[in-house]
Amino acid sequence: MKIVVLCGGLSMERDVSISSGTLICKSLRGMGHRAVLVDMFCGLEGIDTPIERLFDELPEIRDAKIATQIPDLDAVRASRKWKSRSMIGQGVLELCQMADVVFLGLHGACGEDGRIQAALDLLGVKYTGSGCLGSALAMDKDLTKKIVAPQGIRTPEWRTVTYKEGEIPAIAEAQALPVVVKPVDSGSSMGVAIAHTREELVAALRANLGQQRVILEQYVKGREIDVGVLDGKALPSIEIIPKHGFYDYVNKYQAGATVEICPTPIDPEIEKRLGETALAVHNALGLKGYSRSDYIVDGKGDIYFLEINTLPGMTPTSLLPQEAAAVGIDYDTLCQKIIDMALREE
């Protein structure tokens, strides 16, 4: 089967996406598929093979590593030879139209926000994961909460703010503490901070000053647990225990920084409710194929939904592959299943 694995893009999660895409592409080739790894932003730059022969003369897949520092997107822009405002590199859409299916290994902006999905829809190209509308809704943490809260799904109290530098002291003074500060549409815990003091809150708001909207969310102390949904069923939950601090960018992607336990050692009734909640959120947002949602379970056993990911990470340390493995679905089988679900979609 001819498959394009789209990764990279111009997102703060670029490095994570390239790592996911690299592993996915290697897996698909190992199963006999003619898979081509493509950086959505840089396109076919650096690939000398003519586009019409790419599926027959497969380019080499280079190893990818996630740096501890967030990518410098200005440097990425400058590195592209094609000086265009387009977020999609040269040859990308043409190659996608030649494929049987596109495996979206993208994360964050331009990958999970529905825009590339809409472009592929208009071209009549099949792709993995959710459609453009569900992706757009799920990417916006504020909209997601507004949709799921009326369904009876408990989520921490929150408010969304937009502000300028001079407004930060007043926002910090009026906010109950402790509070979680997070951009409304970022992933991989980028920009997220837990503020226990006014000083920490001011620093977190300043760090997010460039964001259009920022969520101030009630901090709930408890166990961090994630639950995947795959083909209409909830996977076993996975508990995340960072060795230091909270589950931020570094703790997510640097091997050994976090202890992950799957299945979560938890009361079977709570596990059942976690799975039911994950399915309810997935369905309320109109998602397809697969997703992974994040929860806090407090000391009383109450479940708090935080957010959902429509294109969960597929890196060596990612959670969804671990959850799938807990029910006997290895990495190759997971990739093939995701492809099969995409091909079923009308």
Q: Are residues 281 and 146 in the same domain?
A: yes
- Is 344 inside any structural domain? no
- Is 333 inside any structural domain? no
Q: Are residues 197 and 162 in the same domain?
A: yes
What CATH number does the domain containing 196 carry?
3.30.1490.20
Asked whether the predicted pLDDT for residue 46 surpasses 60, the reply is: yes
Q: Are residues 89 and 189 in the same domain?
A: no
Do residues 275 and 227 touch, judged by C-beta distance below 8 A?
yes
What CATH number does the domain containing 284 carry?
3.30.470.20
Strand 34-39 and strand 303-309: pairing?
Answer: unpaired
Range scoring the smallest mean pLDDT among 64-68, 315-319, 324-328: 64-68
Range scoring the smallest mean pLDDT among 97-101, 197-201, 213-217, 252-256: 252-256
User: Cα 295 to chain center, whole Å?
Assistant: 15
Q: Are residues 185 and 231 in the same domain?
A: no
Asked whether the predicted pLDDT for residue 67 surpasses 80, the reply is: no
- Is 343 inside any structural domain? no
Q: What is the mean pLDDT of residues 5-15?
A: 92
> Alpha-carbon distance 95 to 3, whole Å?
9
Provide the number of structural domains found in the chain.
3
What are the b/e assignments for 310-337, b being 16+ CB within 10 Å? bbbbbbebbbbbbbbbbeebebeebbbb
Q: Are residues 150 and 274 in the same domain?
A: yes
* Structural domain for 70, as ranges: 2-127
pLDDT band, very low/low/confident/very high, at 327 (cuts 50, 70, 90): very high
Asked whether the predicted pLDDT for residue 9 surpasses 70, the reply is: yes
Asked whether the predicted pLDDT for residue 252 surpasses 90, the reply is: no
Q: Are residues 144 and 202 in the same domain?
A: no
CA nearest to 38, candidates 50, 49, 22, 27: 22
CA nearest to 230, candidates 164, 303, 289: 289
Q: Are residues 49 and 197 in the same domain?
A: no
CA nearest to 136, candidates 162, 104, 109: 109
Do residues 89 and 82 touch, judged by C-beta distance below 8 A?
yes
> Alpha-carbon distance 188 to 108, whole Å?
8
Q: Are residues 183 and 283 in the same domain?
A: no
- Is 105 inside any structural domain? yes
Q: Are residues 163 and 307 in the same domain?
A: no
Give me the chain's average pLDDT, please: 92
* pLDDT at residue 62, rounded to an integer: 87
